[in-house]
Structure 1
Amino acid sequence: MNPAGPGRTLAALAVIAVAALAAFWTATSGFRVLTSESARRLSVSRQPLALPSARLADGRELTAAIRDDGRVVLVDFIYTQCESLCTALGTDYQQLQREIQRRGLGDRVRLLSLSFDPDRDDAATLARHQARLRADPALWQASTVPDVAQRARLLAAFGIVVVPDGRGDFVHNAAIHVVDAQGRLRGIHDLGRWPSALADALEAN
Protein backbone atom coordinates (compact mmCIF):
# COMPACT_ATOMS: atom_id res chain seq x y z
CA MET A 1 0.00 0.00 0.00
CA ASN A 2 1.31 3.43 -0.91
CA PRO A 3 0.41 5.93 1.88
CA ALA A 4 0.90 8.85 -0.50
CA GLY A 5 -1.84 7.54 -2.81
CA PRO A 6 -4.87 9.11 -1.03
CA GLY A 7 -3.07 12.42 -0.77
CA ARG A 8 -2.34 12.49 -4.48
CA THR A 9 -5.96 11.59 -5.20
CA LEU A 10 -7.26 14.43 -3.04
CA ALA A 11 -4.82 16.86 -4.66
CA ALA A 12 -5.95 15.79 -8.13
CA LEU A 13 -9.60 16.20 -7.16
CA ALA A 14 -8.84 19.65 -5.78
CA VAL A 15 -7.18 20.67 -9.06
CA ILE A 16 -10.18 19.40 -11.02
CA ALA A 17 -12.60 21.25 -8.73
CA VAL A 18 -10.66 24.50 -9.07
CA ALA A 19 -10.54 24.13 -12.86
CA ALA A 20 -14.29 23.45 -13.00
CA LEU A 21 -14.99 26.43 -10.75
CA ALA A 22 -12.85 28.67 -12.95
CA ALA A 23 -14.63 27.47 -16.08
CA PHE A 24 -18.02 28.06 -14.46
CA TRP A 25 -16.92 31.54 -13.36
CA THR A 26 -15.92 32.39 -16.93
CA ALA A 27 -19.04 30.89 -18.52
CA THR A 28 -21.36 32.71 -16.13
CA SER A 29 -19.53 36.07 -16.17
CA GLY A 30 -18.49 35.72 -12.55
CA PHE A 31 -21.56 33.73 -11.51
CA ARG A 32 -23.82 36.60 -12.54
CA VAL A 33 -25.26 34.71 -15.48
CA LEU A 34 -26.93 31.35 -15.06
CA THR A 35 -29.14 31.26 -18.16
CA SER A 36 -28.70 32.18 -21.81
CA GLU A 37 -31.37 34.88 -21.48
CA SER A 38 -29.53 36.42 -18.54
CA ALA A 39 -26.34 36.29 -20.58
CA ARG A 40 -28.05 38.09 -23.46
CA ARG A 41 -29.37 40.79 -21.15
CA LEU A 42 -25.97 41.32 -19.62
CA SER A 43 -24.42 41.45 -23.08
CA VAL A 44 -26.70 44.20 -24.41
CA SER A 45 -26.27 46.25 -21.24
CA ARG A 46 -22.50 46.15 -21.77
CA GLN A 47 -22.53 46.46 -25.55
CA PRO A 48 -25.72 47.96 -27.04
CA LEU A 49 -27.05 45.97 -29.99
CA ALA A 50 -27.71 47.65 -33.33
CA LEU A 51 -31.21 46.72 -34.48
CA PRO A 52 -32.03 45.33 -37.92
CA SER A 53 -33.88 47.48 -40.41
CA ALA A 54 -37.66 47.27 -40.04
CA ARG A 55 -40.32 49.43 -41.67
CA LEU A 56 -43.38 50.36 -39.63
CA ALA A 57 -46.92 50.27 -40.97
CA ASP A 58 -46.87 54.03 -41.57
CA GLY A 59 -43.81 53.69 -43.82
CA ARG A 60 -41.18 54.95 -41.39
CA GLU A 61 -38.02 52.95 -40.83
CA LEU A 62 -37.92 52.12 -37.13
CA THR A 63 -34.37 53.03 -36.15
CA ALA A 64 -34.35 56.10 -38.42
CA ALA A 65 -37.55 57.30 -36.74
CA ILE A 66 -35.97 56.80 -33.32
CA ARG A 67 -32.84 58.72 -34.28
CA ASP A 68 -34.87 61.52 -35.84
CA ASP A 69 -36.99 61.80 -32.70
CA GLY A 70 -33.96 61.94 -30.40
CA ARG A 71 -35.68 60.35 -27.40
CA VAL A 72 -34.93 57.04 -25.73
CA VAL A 73 -37.73 54.57 -26.46
CA LEU A 74 -39.16 51.89 -24.21
CA VAL A 75 -40.42 49.17 -26.54
CA ASP A 76 -42.75 46.26 -25.84
CA PHE A 77 -44.28 43.62 -28.13
CA ILE A 78 -47.98 42.84 -27.97
CA TYR A 79 -51.06 41.80 -29.89
CA THR A 80 -54.39 43.39 -29.08
CA GLN A 81 -56.35 40.12 -28.68
CA CYS A 82 -54.01 39.03 -25.87
CA GLU A 83 -55.55 38.87 -22.40
CA SER A 84 -52.55 37.74 -20.37
CA LEU A 85 -49.00 39.08 -20.71
CA CYS A 86 -50.06 41.96 -22.95
CA THR A 87 -52.55 43.12 -20.34
CA ALA A 88 -49.75 43.18 -17.77
CA LEU A 89 -47.55 45.11 -20.19
CA GLY A 90 -50.37 47.58 -20.74
CA THR A 91 -50.57 48.17 -17.00
CA ASP A 92 -46.81 48.70 -16.82
CA TYR A 93 -46.97 51.17 -19.70
CA GLN A 94 -49.85 53.08 -18.10
CA GLN A 95 -47.71 53.48 -14.98
CA LEU A 96 -44.72 54.50 -17.08
CA GLN A 97 -46.81 57.09 -18.89
CA ARG A 98 -48.06 58.54 -15.59
CA GLU A 99 -44.52 58.71 -14.20
CA ILE A 100 -43.13 60.32 -17.36
CA GLN A 101 -45.90 62.92 -17.23
CA ARG A 102 -45.53 63.50 -13.49
CA ARG A 103 -41.79 64.10 -13.78
CA GLY A 104 -41.94 66.07 -17.03
CA LEU A 105 -39.75 63.58 -18.90
CA GLY A 106 -41.65 63.60 -22.18
CA ASP A 107 -38.80 65.31 -24.00
CA ARG A 108 -36.42 62.49 -23.01
CA VAL A 109 -38.39 59.24 -23.05
CA ARG A 110 -41.30 57.82 -25.00
CA LEU A 111 -43.14 54.51 -25.27
CA LEU A 112 -43.71 52.28 -28.28
CA SER A 113 -45.86 49.16 -28.45
CA LEU A 114 -45.24 46.97 -31.50
CA SER A 115 -47.83 44.36 -32.47
CA PHE A 116 -46.60 41.07 -33.94
CA ASP A 117 -50.11 40.37 -35.30
CA PRO A 118 -50.41 42.80 -38.24
CA ASP A 119 -53.18 40.79 -39.92
CA ARG A 120 -55.59 41.74 -37.13
CA ASP A 121 -53.88 44.78 -35.64
CA ASP A 122 -54.36 47.37 -38.36
CA ALA A 123 -54.14 51.10 -37.64
CA ALA A 124 -57.77 51.40 -36.56
CA THR A 125 -57.55 48.41 -34.20
CA LEU A 126 -54.36 49.72 -32.62
CA ALA A 127 -55.93 53.17 -32.23
CA ARG A 128 -58.89 51.67 -30.36
CA HIS A 129 -56.53 49.65 -28.20
CA GLN A 130 -54.50 52.75 -27.32
CA ALA A 131 -57.67 54.69 -26.56
CA ARG A 132 -58.78 51.98 -24.11
CA LEU A 133 -55.45 52.33 -22.34
CA ARG A 134 -55.74 56.14 -22.39
CA ALA A 135 -52.41 56.43 -24.18
CA ASP A 136 -51.15 59.95 -24.81
CA PRO A 137 -50.08 59.94 -28.50
CA ALA A 138 -47.28 62.37 -27.71
CA LEU A 139 -45.75 59.82 -25.33
CA TRP A 140 -47.06 56.39 -26.27
CA GLN A 141 -47.55 55.15 -29.80
CA ALA A 142 -48.43 51.76 -31.27
CA SER A 143 -47.58 50.27 -34.64
CA THR A 144 -46.58 47.04 -36.33
CA VAL A 145 -44.07 45.73 -38.86
CA PRO A 146 -46.04 44.31 -41.81
CA ASP A 147 -43.14 42.60 -43.59
CA VAL A 148 -42.80 39.00 -42.34
CA ALA A 149 -39.02 38.73 -42.74
CA GLN A 150 -38.34 42.13 -41.17
CA ARG A 151 -40.67 41.32 -38.28
CA ALA A 152 -38.94 37.99 -37.66
CA ARG A 153 -35.49 39.63 -37.59
CA LEU A 154 -36.72 42.34 -35.23
CA LEU A 155 -38.32 39.84 -32.83
CA ALA A 156 -35.11 37.80 -32.84
CA ALA A 157 -33.02 40.88 -32.07
CA PHE A 158 -35.24 41.71 -29.10
CA GLY A 159 -35.35 38.09 -27.94
CA ILE A 160 -39.11 37.79 -28.35
CA VAL A 161 -40.39 34.30 -29.18
CA VAL A 162 -43.88 34.13 -30.71
CA VAL A 163 -45.57 30.77 -31.34
CA PRO A 164 -49.12 30.38 -32.74
CA ASP A 165 -51.24 28.39 -30.28
CA GLY A 166 -53.45 26.82 -32.97
CA ARG A 167 -56.51 28.76 -31.84
CA GLY A 168 -55.70 32.06 -33.52
CA ASP A 169 -53.68 33.44 -30.62
CA PHE A 170 -50.02 33.28 -29.60
CA VAL A 171 -47.77 32.01 -26.85
CA HIS A 172 -45.00 34.55 -26.30
CA ASN A 173 -42.62 36.04 -23.79
CA ALA A 174 -42.67 39.67 -22.70
CA ALA A 175 -40.30 42.36 -21.45
CA ILE A 176 -39.67 46.10 -21.53
CA HIS A 177 -36.80 47.00 -23.85
CA VAL A 178 -34.69 50.14 -23.69
CA VAL A 179 -33.66 51.48 -27.12
CA ASP A 180 -31.32 54.45 -27.03
CA ALA A 181 -31.52 57.52 -29.26
CA GLN A 182 -29.09 55.89 -31.71
CA GLY A 183 -31.56 53.05 -32.26
CA ARG A 184 -29.62 50.44 -30.26
CA LEU A 185 -31.03 47.92 -27.79
CA ARG A 186 -29.28 48.55 -24.50
CA GLY A 187 -31.51 47.14 -21.78
CA ILE A 188 -34.12 44.45 -21.13
CA HIS A 189 -36.36 44.49 -18.06
CA ASP A 190 -38.93 42.01 -16.79
CA LEU A 191 -42.64 42.66 -16.43
CA GLY A 192 -43.32 44.72 -13.34
CA ARG A 193 -39.83 46.22 -13.40
CA TRP A 194 -40.91 49.40 -15.16
CA PRO A 195 -39.15 51.69 -12.62
CA SER A 196 -35.79 50.09 -13.45
CA ALA A 197 -36.58 50.32 -17.17
CA LEU A 198 -37.28 54.04 -16.81
CA ALA A 199 -34.12 54.57 -14.80
CA ASP A 200 -32.14 52.75 -17.47
CA ALA A 201 -33.74 54.92 -20.17
CA LEU A 202 -32.77 58.10 -18.34
CA GLU A 203 -29.19 56.90 -18.01
CA ALA A 204 -29.13 56.29 -21.77
CA ASN A 205 -30.39 59.81 -22.55
Structure 2
Amino acid sequence: MLRTTLLSLALLLGGYGAAAWLTHDFQVWTDEGARRLEVALRPLPLPDVVVDGPGIAPAALPGLLAASGQVTIADFFYTRCKTVCLSLGGSFGEMQAQLQQQGDTGVQLLSISFDGAYDSPPILARYAQTMGAKAPLWRFARVADARQQQQLLRGLGVVVIPDGMGDYEHNAALLVFDARGRMVRIFDLAEQELALNYARHLARQAATPPTATAQPGAA
Protein backbone atom coordinates (compact mmCIF):
# COMPACT_ATOMS: atom_id res chain seq x y z
CA MET A 1 0.00 0.00 0.00
CA LEU A 2 2.77 2.41 0.96
CA ARG A 3 4.70 1.47 -2.17
CA THR A 4 1.67 2.19 -4.36
CA THR A 5 1.12 5.54 -2.66
CA LEU A 6 4.76 6.56 -3.13
CA LEU A 7 4.69 5.52 -6.79
CA SER A 8 1.52 7.53 -7.38
CA LEU A 9 3.07 10.55 -5.68
CA ALA A 10 6.22 10.23 -7.79
CA LEU A 11 4.16 10.08 -10.98
CA LEU A 12 2.13 13.10 -9.88
CA LEU A 13 5.24 15.13 -9.12
CA GLY A 14 6.85 14.05 -12.37
CA GLY A 15 3.79 15.08 -14.34
CA TYR A 16 3.65 18.42 -12.53
CA GLY A 17 7.31 19.08 -13.28
CA ALA A 18 6.93 18.17 -16.93
CA ALA A 19 3.88 20.41 -17.28
CA ALA A 20 5.67 23.29 -15.58
CA TRP A 21 8.65 22.92 -17.93
CA LEU A 22 6.52 22.63 -21.07
CA THR A 23 4.37 25.63 -20.16
CA HIS A 24 7.10 27.96 -18.82
CA ASP A 25 5.90 27.54 -15.20
CA PHE A 26 2.26 27.37 -16.35
CA GLN A 27 2.38 30.76 -18.08
CA VAL A 28 1.28 29.22 -21.39
CA TRP A 29 -0.50 26.07 -22.49
CA THR A 30 -0.11 26.13 -26.28
CA ASP A 31 2.75 26.25 -28.78
CA GLU A 32 1.47 29.64 -29.95
CA GLY A 33 1.47 30.97 -26.41
CA ALA A 34 4.99 29.68 -25.89
CA ARG A 35 6.14 31.37 -29.11
CA ARG A 36 4.67 34.69 -27.99
CA LEU A 37 6.29 34.45 -24.59
CA GLU A 38 9.69 33.62 -26.10
CA VAL A 39 9.48 36.62 -28.44
CA ALA A 40 8.50 38.93 -25.56
CA LEU A 41 11.46 37.70 -23.49
CA ARG A 42 13.99 37.61 -26.35
CA PRO A 43 13.39 39.84 -29.40
CA LEU A 44 13.73 37.85 -32.61
CA PRO A 45 16.01 39.12 -35.40
CA LEU A 46 14.61 38.88 -38.91
CA PRO A 47 16.26 36.55 -41.41
CA ASP A 48 18.12 38.39 -44.16
CA VAL A 49 15.50 37.89 -46.90
CA VAL A 50 14.95 40.22 -49.85
CA VAL A 51 11.57 41.88 -50.33
CA ASP A 52 10.12 44.16 -52.97
CA GLY A 53 6.78 45.79 -53.61
CA PRO A 54 5.05 48.98 -54.76
CA GLY A 55 7.56 51.77 -54.17
CA ILE A 56 9.98 49.29 -52.56
CA ALA A 57 13.09 48.40 -54.55
CA PRO A 58 14.53 44.94 -53.74
CA ALA A 59 16.08 45.23 -50.29
CA ALA A 60 16.87 43.07 -47.27
CA LEU A 61 13.86 43.13 -44.96
CA PRO A 62 15.83 43.79 -41.72
CA GLY A 63 17.57 46.75 -43.34
CA LEU A 64 14.32 48.06 -44.80
CA LEU A 65 12.67 48.17 -41.38
CA ALA A 66 15.71 49.52 -39.57
CA ALA A 67 16.29 52.23 -42.20
CA SER A 68 12.88 53.72 -41.52
CA GLY A 69 13.74 54.30 -37.87
CA GLN A 70 10.11 53.48 -37.07
CA VAL A 71 8.31 50.79 -35.13
CA THR A 72 6.52 48.48 -37.57
CA ILE A 73 3.27 46.55 -37.19
CA ALA A 74 3.25 43.80 -39.80
CA ASP A 75 0.94 41.05 -40.96
CA PHE A 76 1.08 38.21 -43.49
CA PHE A 77 -1.60 37.81 -46.14
CA TYR A 78 -2.20 37.01 -49.81
CA THR A 79 -4.27 39.04 -52.24
CA ARG A 80 -6.55 36.19 -53.39
CA CYS A 81 -7.74 35.54 -49.83
CA LYS A 82 -11.43 36.24 -49.26
CA THR A 83 -11.64 35.56 -45.52
CA VAL A 84 -9.21 36.40 -42.72
CA CYS A 85 -6.99 38.60 -44.90
CA LEU A 86 -9.90 40.98 -45.40
CA SER A 87 -10.27 41.19 -41.61
CA LEU A 88 -6.54 41.93 -41.34
CA GLY A 89 -6.88 44.60 -44.01
CA GLY A 90 -9.80 46.14 -42.15
CA SER A 91 -7.77 46.25 -38.93
CA PHE A 92 -4.84 47.86 -40.71
CA GLY A 93 -7.17 50.40 -42.29
CA GLU A 94 -8.46 51.37 -38.86
CA MET A 95 -4.92 51.65 -37.45
CA GLN A 96 -3.88 53.75 -40.45
CA ALA A 97 -6.77 56.13 -39.80
CA GLN A 98 -5.83 56.47 -36.13
CA LEU A 99 -2.18 57.11 -36.93
CA GLN A 100 -3.13 59.74 -39.51
CA GLN A 101 -5.66 61.38 -37.22
CA GLN A 102 -3.25 61.68 -34.31
CA GLY A 103 -0.20 62.56 -36.38
CA ASP A 104 1.89 59.58 -35.23
CA THR A 105 5.07 59.38 -37.29
CA GLY A 106 6.93 56.80 -35.25
CA VAL A 107 4.80 53.83 -36.35
CA GLN A 108 4.38 52.31 -39.80
CA LEU A 109 2.30 49.41 -41.16
CA LEU A 110 3.59 46.66 -43.45
CA SER A 111 1.59 43.88 -45.08
CA ILE A 112 3.75 41.04 -46.41
CA SER A 113 2.38 38.58 -48.96
CA PHE A 114 3.35 34.95 -48.50
CA ASP A 115 2.16 34.22 -52.06
CA GLY A 116 5.16 35.88 -53.65
CA ALA A 117 4.96 33.94 -56.92
CA TYR A 118 1.52 35.44 -57.67
CA ASP A 119 1.51 38.71 -55.74
CA SER A 120 3.80 40.77 -57.96
CA PRO A 121 4.38 44.45 -57.18
CA PRO A 122 1.67 45.58 -59.68
CA ILE A 123 -0.87 43.20 -58.11
CA LEU A 124 0.10 44.40 -54.65
CA ALA A 125 -0.28 48.01 -55.82
CA ARG A 126 -3.84 47.34 -57.02
CA TYR A 127 -4.66 45.54 -53.78
CA ALA A 128 -3.22 48.40 -51.70
CA GLN A 129 -5.41 50.85 -53.62
CA THR A 130 -8.46 48.66 -52.98
CA MET A 131 -7.67 48.62 -49.24
CA GLY A 132 -7.19 52.39 -49.13
CA ALA A 133 -3.54 52.12 -48.08
CA LYS A 134 -1.57 55.36 -47.95
CA ALA A 135 2.16 54.90 -48.54
CA PRO A 136 4.55 55.28 -46.82
CA LEU A 137 2.37 54.86 -43.72
CA TRP A 138 1.01 51.51 -44.92
CA ARG A 139 3.12 49.61 -47.44
CA PHE A 140 2.90 46.21 -49.13
CA ALA A 141 5.73 43.82 -49.90
CA ARG A 142 6.48 40.24 -50.90
CA VAL A 143 9.40 37.81 -50.81
CA ALA A 144 9.88 36.77 -54.44
CA ASP A 145 12.32 33.93 -53.77
CA ALA A 146 10.42 30.80 -52.64
CA ARG A 147 13.22 29.50 -50.41
CA GLN A 148 13.67 32.85 -48.70
CA GLN A 149 9.92 33.07 -48.29
CA GLN A 150 9.84 29.76 -46.42
CA GLN A 151 12.84 30.86 -44.35
CA LEU A 152 10.97 33.98 -43.27
CA LEU A 153 7.75 32.13 -42.43
CA ARG A 154 9.59 29.48 -40.40
CA GLY A 155 11.70 32.08 -38.64
CA LEU A 156 8.68 34.06 -37.50
CA GLY A 157 6.46 31.06 -36.78
CA VAL A 158 3.89 31.95 -39.45
CA VAL A 159 1.89 28.86 -40.44
CA VAL A 160 0.82 28.68 -44.09
CA ILE A 161 -0.73 25.51 -45.52
CA PRO A 162 -1.73 25.30 -49.21
CA ASP A 163 -5.18 23.76 -49.69
CA GLY A 164 -4.30 22.39 -53.15
CA MET A 165 -6.77 24.69 -54.91
CA GLY A 166 -4.77 27.91 -54.95
CA ASP A 167 -5.76 29.09 -51.48
CA TYR A 168 -4.09 28.78 -48.09
CA GLU A 169 -4.94 28.11 -44.50
CA HIS A 170 -2.87 30.41 -42.30
CA ASN A 171 -2.71 31.94 -38.85
CA ALA A 172 -3.41 35.64 -38.43
CA ALA A 173 -1.54 37.89 -36.03
CA LEU A 174 -0.19 41.40 -35.63
CA LEU A 175 3.60 41.32 -35.39
CA VAL A 176 5.40 44.28 -33.83
CA PHE A 177 9.00 45.04 -34.85
CA ASP A 178 11.13 47.59 -33.04
CA ALA A 179 13.15 50.34 -34.73
CA ARG A 180 16.05 47.88 -35.10
CA GLY A 181 13.92 45.48 -37.12
CA ARG A 182 13.50 42.82 -34.41
CA MET A 183 10.18 41.14 -33.69
CA VAL A 184 9.33 42.05 -30.11
CA ARG A 185 5.64 41.18 -29.65
CA ILE A 186 2.86 39.13 -31.23
CA PHE A 187 -0.77 40.11 -30.79
CA ASP A 188 -4.03 38.46 -31.80
CA LEU A 189 -6.09 40.13 -34.47
CA ALA A 190 -8.65 41.01 -31.78
CA GLU A 191 -5.90 42.86 -29.88
CA GLN A 192 -5.56 45.57 -32.52
CA GLU A 193 -5.78 48.47 -30.06
CA LEU A 194 -3.28 46.83 -27.71
CA ALA A 195 -0.83 46.27 -30.56
CA LEU A 196 -1.12 49.87 -31.71
CA ASN A 197 -0.67 51.28 -28.21
CA TYR A 198 2.36 49.06 -27.63
CA ALA A 199 3.92 50.19 -30.94
CA ARG A 200 3.35 53.82 -30.00
CA HIS A 201 4.97 53.20 -26.62
CA LEU A 202 8.05 51.71 -28.31
CA ALA A 203 8.22 54.62 -30.75
CA ARG A 204 8.10 57.15 -27.89
CA GLN A 205 10.85 55.27 -26.07
CA ALA A 206 13.05 55.28 -29.18
CA ALA A 207 12.48 59.02 -29.66
CA THR A 208 13.32 59.94 -26.06
CA PRO A 209 17.04 60.55 -25.47
CA PRO A 210 18.50 58.69 -22.50
CA THR A 211 18.82 60.66 -19.27
CA ALA A 212 22.36 61.76 -18.60
CA THR A 213 23.95 60.04 -15.62
CA ALA A 214 26.04 62.21 -13.31
CA GLN A 215 29.69 61.21 -13.23
CA PRO A 216 31.28 60.39 -9.88
CA GLY A 217 32.97 63.45 -8.37
CA ALA A 218 31.04 65.87 -10.56
CA ALA A 219 30.16 69.17 -8.89
Fold equivalence (TM over 0.5): yes
Aligned-pair distance for 1:191? 1.6
- 1:56 match: secondary structure: strand
Which residue type is aligned with residue 67 of structure 1? A
Secondary structure in 2 matching 1:194: helix
Cα distance in 2 for partners of 1:196, 1:10 equals 48
SS at match of 2:118: coil
Superimposed CA distance per residue, residues 13-49 of structure 1 (whole angstroms, 9 cap, x where no aligned partner): 3344234223322321121111112111100011001
Which stretch shows the higher mean deviation, 13-22 or 150-159? 13-22
Backbone CA RMSD of aligned residues: 1.6
AA matched with 2:186: I
Shift of 1:118: 2.2
Look up the match of 2:37: 42
Alignment length (residue pairs): 199
Match of 2:161 in 1: 163
- 2:75 aligned counterpart, secondary structure: strand
CA distance in 1: counterparts of 2:44 and 2:29, whole angstroms: 21
What TM-score do you get using the length of structure 2 for normalisation? 0.84
Paired amino acid for 2:21: T
User: 2: CA distance between counterparts of 1:83 and 1:14?
Assistant: 53
- Extract structure 1 runs of 4+ deviating beyond 3 A: 6-12
Deviations 1:88-119 (Å, cap 9, x if unpaired)? 100111111122122222x2110000111223
Equivalences for residues 92-111 of structure 1 within 5 A? 92-105=91-104, 107-111=105-109
Which residue type is aligned with residue 165 of structure 2? R
In the alignment, is residue 194 of structure 1 matched against residue 189 of structure 2?
no
The alpha-carbon deviation at position 199 of structure 1 amounts to 2.3
Q: Percent identity at matched positions?
A: 37
Is the 2:71–2:177 contact (alpha carbons within 8 Å) kept by the matching residues of 1?
yes
- Cα distance between partner residues in 1 of 2:200 and 2:102: 12
Pick from 182, 189, 192 the counterpart of residue 184 of structure 1: 182
Give 2:51's aligned residue. 56
The one-letter code of the counterpart of 1:177 is: L
**Contact persistence 2:116–2:146 (CA under 8 A):** no
Tell me the CA shift for residue 8 of structure 1. Answer: 5.5
Q: Which residue of 2 aligns with 1:145?
A: 143
Q: TM-score, normalised by structure 1?
A: 0.90
Aligned to 1:136: 134
